[in-house]
C-alpha cells in the first residue's frame, strides 16, 4: 500500500503544479497519455463509489507480476475481478491498460513484455464481461519506473499493469 | 612499408588471437590482447595563408584525438618534438623524428580562401625513411573543418592498419535529462566524437532507439507522440518526420533499415503478441515474417540483405536466431548461459554483436554469425544496445548506472574488448546508432 500512498501524493503534487495532464490518472502519464480523445475527470472522493479516486484507491488500479512473467497471480485476479465489477457498473468509463517492466531487461524486450502484461489484464477483464472496445493496451517497457531503486523491492512495484480510466479510447 | 602494414593488420586481428609482428622497427605487439600503441607525431599543420592560421593547430589536434582514441596509436606530444615542419613540400628530416621514436609522422598544410578550406597531408614511415602512400588533399567549407581532420585521420588509420576508417561518421542517439522516474528523452545527432551536437526532436514524448539509413540521411525511431509507441522516419536535413505504421491500437517499435534503404524491419504487437514484420517505405501493409506466440523483436539484416538475426523467447528465455530475409524457419545461434538480446550484424558481415544478461550482470558481446566463438567485451550493472562503427572494429553501446540516481551514458569498446571509453556528451545518452562513413 506504500506505493499507492506515494501515487496519491504525486498526483496531488502534479495538480498543485497546475499540470494539465491531471485527467490521466495512471502513472506513466508523463509518457504522453492524455492524447486525442482522452477525457478530463475530476478525481473525486474515494468515498464516492463511482469516482476515479475510489477505483484507484479502493478497487485497486494495478496488478503486479513476477520476474519476466505476464501470468496473473491470485492477488492480481482478485483486483481485476473488482475492476471488472466496477467497470460493469460505471459504463461511462473506458480504460487504457498500461503495461510496465522493471529495468532488468533490454529495451525492446521490455516493451514487448509490458505489452504481454497489459494484454493479460485486458483478456481477463473481457472474460469477465467488459466489452473489448472499452479497453485498449499500451506498453511503456522500462521507460516509466514508479520506484527508482535498483533492488527487488522497487522492481516488484515496477512490474505492473495499471488500468487508467478514460472518457474515451480513441488512439 | 608492407611489413609495417602487415604488422598493424595482424595487431587488429579479430577475436584476440595472439599475433606477433616480424622483426623490424615498426611493429605492434600483442600480449593477451593488449596492443602496444604505435608512437606517432602529428605536428601543427602548415598554414599556407594567414586566414588558415587558426586551423593549423586544431586540425592536428583532432587528427591526434581520432588516432589516439583508438588505443592503437600513441601521440608523441609537441613538447617532445625536436624539429618543426615549416614547409609541406620540403623533404622530411627523418633523423629528427627517429630521435624521438616517432614511427609514423603525419604532416599537413591548410589554406583558406573565402569560405573554403583546403587540407593536404602526407604520412611517413619514419624508420623506413619513406612516404606511406601518396599525399592527398581534401576541400570543404570552413565550417566543416573537423570533417577534413576526420578524413585525414581516416586515411592515416586506413593506410597503417589496412582497415577502413570510421572517424568521419556521426552518431544518432537519445539524449536524456531528468530523474529516473521522469526521464526526458529527445533524439540527438553528433559527430562520432561528440562534437557538433544537434537535437532532432523536443522532449515532449518518449523517443527510443534511432537507426540510420544506409546513406545516413534518414533515421528510423520509435516515438510515443500519439501516446502510443509507433515507428517514425525522420529526414536528418529537414527534421521532417512521419509515422510509418499508424494502425489503431497497434504498437510498433525496434525498426531497422534493410541494406538497400527501401524497406525496414520492425516489431508489431497485436493482442499482446510481438512479431517481426517487413514493410516497404513506398507504402503497403507490413508483411509478417515470424508467427510464434513468443516475443520476436530486435531484428537486424546481414549486410548482404539475405538473412535476419533477431531475438526471441520461444525457447522460454531470450535467445538469438537467424532466419532467411523472407522469413522461414529460424535457427537458434546462442547457446551459452543467460539471456541474449539486441543482436546487430556487423557491417563486415563476420560477427554479430549482442547484449547478454547473466547472473544479474549485463554484457556486450560478439559471436560469429553461426553463434560460435562467443566473446564478452564488457560487464556492468546494465550494458545494452550495441551499434557498430562503419568499419566493424568498434562498438558503441548504452551503459546505465544503478540506483535512484542512476543515469545512462554512451561508451565505446573495440571488438577485442580493449579501449573501453566513455563518449563525451553533455547530459545522459542512450541507444546510440553509428552512421555509415560519410561521403
Q: Which of A107, A122, A135 to mutate to test the interface with B (most CBs of B within 10 A)?
A: A107
Contact B251 A138 (CB under 8 A): yes
* DSSP one-letter string for B60-118: HHHHHHHHHHTTSEEE--GGG-S-----SSSPP-HHHHHTTT-SEEEEEEEEEETTEEE
Residues of A with CB under 8 A from a CB of B: 30-36, 38, 70, 103-109, 111-113, 115-116, 118-120, 122-123, 136-140, 143-146, 148-150, 171
Contact A108 B254 (CB under 8 A): yes
Reported ipTM: the value is: 0.91
pLDDT given at position B162: 87
Could you tell me the three cell numbers for B297? 523483436
Q: Does B252 touch chain A (CB under 8 A)?
A: no
pLDDT in tens, B251-277: 999 999 999 999 999 999 999 999 999
Beta carbons within 8 Å of B244's beta carbon, 6+ residues apart: B220, B230, B231, B232, B233, B252, B255, B264, B266, B279, B281
Query: Is residue B20 over pLDDT 50?
Result: no
pLDDT given at position A35: 36
C-alpha separations of B4 from A88, B1, B26, B154 in Å = 79, 5, 6, 17
Contact B206 A103 (CB under 8 A): no
| Angle of the B145-161 helix axis to the B53-69 helix axis, nearest 10 | 40
pLDDT given at position A25: 39
Contact B384 A31 (CB under 8 A): no
Contact A32 B355 (CB under 8 A): no
pLDDT in tens, B105-159: 999 999 999 999 999 999 999 999 999 999 999 999 999 999 999 999 999 999 9
Query: Is residue B361 over pLDDT 80?
Result: yes
Contact B269 A113 (CB under 8 A): no
Reduced to 3 states (helix: H, G, I; strand: E, B; else coil), residue B279 is strand
Q: Which residues of B touch A136 (CB under 8 A)?
A: 249
Positions of chain A with pLDDT lower than 50, given as ranges: 1-40, 169-171
Q: Which residues of B touch A150 (CB under 8 A)?
A: 381, 402-403, 406
pLDDT band at B36 (very low <50, low <70, confident <90, very high): confident
Q: Does B324 touch chain A (CB under 8 A)?
A: no
Q: Which of A30, A140, A171 lies nearest to residue B249, judging by beta carbons? A: A171
Min Cα separation B380/chain A (Å): 12
Q: Which of A70, A112, A144 lies nearest to residue B267, judging by beta carbons? A: A112
> How many A/B residue pairs have CB atoms within 8 Å?
124
Contact A148 B208 (CB under 8 A): no
CB neighbours (10 Å) of residue B287?
13
pLDDT given at position B245: 85
Q: Which of B249, B272, B382 to mutate to test the interface with A (most CBs of A within 10 A)?
A: B272
| Residue B146: φ, ψ to 5° | -65, -35
- CATH second-level architecture of A2-166? 2-Layer Sandwich (3.30)
pLDDT in tens, B187-224: 999 999 999 999 999 999 999 999 999 999 999 999 99
Q: Which of A118, A122, A171 lies nearest to residue B226, judging by beta carbons? A: A171
Residues in chain B: 439
Using CB atoms and an 8 Å cut-off, which of residues 275-304 of chain B contact chain A? 295, 297-298
Q: Which residues of B touch A113 (CB under 8 A)?
A: 295
pLDDT in tens, B51-103: 999 999 999 999 999 999 999 999 999 999 999 999 999 999 999 999 999 99
pLDDT in tens, A38-49: 444 568 899 999
Contact B251 A111 (CB under 8 A): yes
Q: Where are the domains of chain A?
A: 2-166
Reduced to 3 states (helix: H, G, I; strand: E, B; else coil), residue B171 is strand
Q: CA dihedral in degrees (A115, A121, A127, A129; nearest 10)?
A: -110
pLDDT given at position B246: 81
- Measured between CA atoms, the residue of chain B closest to residue A147 is B181
From CA B202, how far away is CA B185, in angstroms rounded? 8
Contact B226 A103 (CB under 8 A): no
Q: Does B407 touch chain A (CB under 8 A)?
A: no
pLDDT given at position B293: 96
Query: Is residue B23 over pLDDT 90?
Result: no
Domains (ranges, CATH) in chain B?
2-161 (3.40.50.10070), 170-434 (2.120.10.30)
Beta carbons within 8 Å of A74's beta carbon, 6+ residues apart: none
Min Cα separation B239/chain A (Å): 21
Q: Which residues of A touch B269 (CB under 8 A)?
A: 111-112, 115, 139
Q: Does B406 touch chain A (CB under 8 A)?
A: yes
Min Cα separation B307/chain A (Å): 20
- Measured between CA atoms, the residue of chain A closest to residue B386 is A106
Query: Is residue B435 over pLDDT 80?
Result: yes
What number is the average pLDDT over the span B382-397? 97
Contact A108 B381 (CB under 8 A): no
Min Cα separation B346/chain A (Å): 20
Contact A106 B251 (CB under 8 A): no
pLDDT in tens, B289-314: 999 999 999 999 999 999 999 999 99
What number is the average pLDDT over the span B367-392? 97
Query: Is residue B235 over pLDDT 60?
Result: yes
Beta carbons within 8 Å of B259's beta carbon, 6+ residues apart: B214, B301, B303, B304, B305
Higher pLDDT, B32 or B131: B131
pLDDT in tens, B319-340: 999 999 999 999 999 999 999 9
Gyration radius of chain A over CA positions: 15
pTM here is: 0.88
Burial class (CB in 10 A: 0-12, 13-18, 19+), B30: buried
Amino acid at each position: 500500500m506504500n506505493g499507492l500512498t506515494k501515487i496519491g501524493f504525486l498526483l496531488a503534487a502534479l495538480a498543485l503544479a497546475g499540470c494539465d495532464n491531471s485527467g490521466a490518472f495512471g502513472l506513466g502519464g508523463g509518457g504522453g497519455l492524455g492524447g486525442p480523445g482522452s477525457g478530463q475527470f475530476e478525481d473525486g472522493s474515494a468515498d464516492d463509489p463511482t469516482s476515479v479516486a475510489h477505483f484507484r484507491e479502493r478497487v485497486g488500479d494495478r496488478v503486479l507480476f513476477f520476474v519476466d512473467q505476464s501470468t496473473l497471480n491470485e492477488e492480481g485476479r482478485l483486483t481485476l475481478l473488482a475492476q471488472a465489477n466496477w467497470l460493469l457498473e460505471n459504463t461511462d468509463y473506458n480504460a487504457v491498460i498500461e503495461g510496465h517492466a522493471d529495468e532488468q531487461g533490454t529495451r525492446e524486450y521490455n516493451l514487448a513484455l509490458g505489452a504481454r502484461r497489459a494484454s493479460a489484464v485486458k483478456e481477463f477483464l473481457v472474460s469477465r464481461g467488459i466489452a473489448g472496445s472499452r479497453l485498449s493496451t499500451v506498453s511503456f517497457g522500462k521507460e516509466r519506473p514508479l520506484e527508482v531503486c535498483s533492488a527487488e523491492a522497487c522492481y516488484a512495484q515496477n512490474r505492473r499493469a495499471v488500468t487508467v480510466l478514460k472518457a474515451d479510447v480513441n488512439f | 612499408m608492407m611489413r609495417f602494414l602487415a604488422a598493424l593488420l595482424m595487431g587488429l586481428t579479430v577475436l584476440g588471437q595472439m599475433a606477433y609482428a616480424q622483426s623490424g622497427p615498426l611493429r605492434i605487439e600483442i600480449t593477451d590482447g593488449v596492443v602496444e600503441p604505435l608512437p606517432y607525431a602529428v605536428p601543427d599543420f602548415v598554414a599556407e595563408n594567414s586566414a588558415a592560421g587558426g586551423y593549423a593547430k586544431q586540425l592536428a589536434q583532432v587528427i591526434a584525438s581520432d588516432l589516439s582514441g583508438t588505443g592503437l596509436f600513441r601521440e608523441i606530444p609537441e613538447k617532445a618534438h625536436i624539429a618543426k615542419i615549416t614547409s609541406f613540400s620540403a623533404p622530411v628530416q627523418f633523423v629528427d623524428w627517429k630521435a624521438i621514436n616517432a614511427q609514423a609522422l603525419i604532416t599537413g598544410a591548410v589554406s583558406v580562401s573565402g569560405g573554403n578550406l583546403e587540407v593536404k597531408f602526407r604520412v611517413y614511415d619514419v624508420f623506413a625513411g619513406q612516404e606511406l602512400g601518396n599525399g592527398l588533399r581534401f576541400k570543404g567549407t570552413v565550417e566543416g573543418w573537423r570533417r577534413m581532420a576526420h578524413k585525414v585521420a581516416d586515411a592515416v588509420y586506413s593506410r597503417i592498419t589496412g582497415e577502413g576508417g570510421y572517424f568521419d561518421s556521426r552518431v544518432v542517439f537519445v539524449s536524456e535529462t531528468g530523474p529516473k522516474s521522469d526521464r526526458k528523452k529527445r533524439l540527438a545527432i553528433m559527430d562520432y566524437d561528440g562534437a557538433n551536437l544537434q537535437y532532432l526532436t523536443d522532449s515532449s514524448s518518449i523517443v527510443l532507439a534511432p537507426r540510420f539509413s544506409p546513406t545516413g540521411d534518414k533515421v528510423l525511431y520509435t516515438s510515443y507522440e500519439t501516446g502510443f509507441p509507433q515507428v517514425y522516419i525522420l529526414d536528418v536535413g529537414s527534421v521532417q518526420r512521419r509515422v510509418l505504421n499508424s494502425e489503431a491500437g497497434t504498437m510498433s517499435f525496434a525498426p531497422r533499415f534493410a541494406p538497400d534503404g527501401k524497406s525496414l524491419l520492425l516489431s508489431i504487437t497485436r493482442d499482446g503478441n510481438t512479431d517481426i514484420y517487413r514493410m516497404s517505405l513506398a507504402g503497403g501493409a507490413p508483411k509478417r515474417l515470424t508467427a510464434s506466440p513468443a516475443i520476436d523483436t530486435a531484428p537486424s539484416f546481414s549486410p548482404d540483405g539475405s538473412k535476419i538475426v533477431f531475438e526471441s523467447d520461444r525457447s522460454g528465455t531470450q535467445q538469438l536466431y537467424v532466419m532467411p530475409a523472407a522469413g522461414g524457419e529460424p535457427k537458434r545461434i546462442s547457446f551459452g548461459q543467460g539471456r541474449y538480446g539486441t543482436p546487430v550484424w556487423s557491417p563486415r558481415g563476420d560477427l554479430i554483436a549482442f547484449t547478454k544478461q547473466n547472473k544479474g550482470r549485463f554484457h556486450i558481446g560478439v559471436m560469429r554469425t553461426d553463434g560460435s566463438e562467443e566473446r564478452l567485451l564488457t560487464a556492468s550493472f546494465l550494458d545494452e544496445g550495441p551499434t557498430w562503427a562503419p568499419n566493424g572494429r568498434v562498438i558503441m553501446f548504452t551503459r546505465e548506472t544503478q540506483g535512484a540516481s542512476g543515469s545512462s551514458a554512451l561508451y565505446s569498446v573495440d571488438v577485442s574488448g580493449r579501449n573501453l571509453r566513455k563518449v563525451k556528451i553533455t547530459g545522459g545518452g542512450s541507444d546510440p546508432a553509428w552512421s555509415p562513413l560519410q561521403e
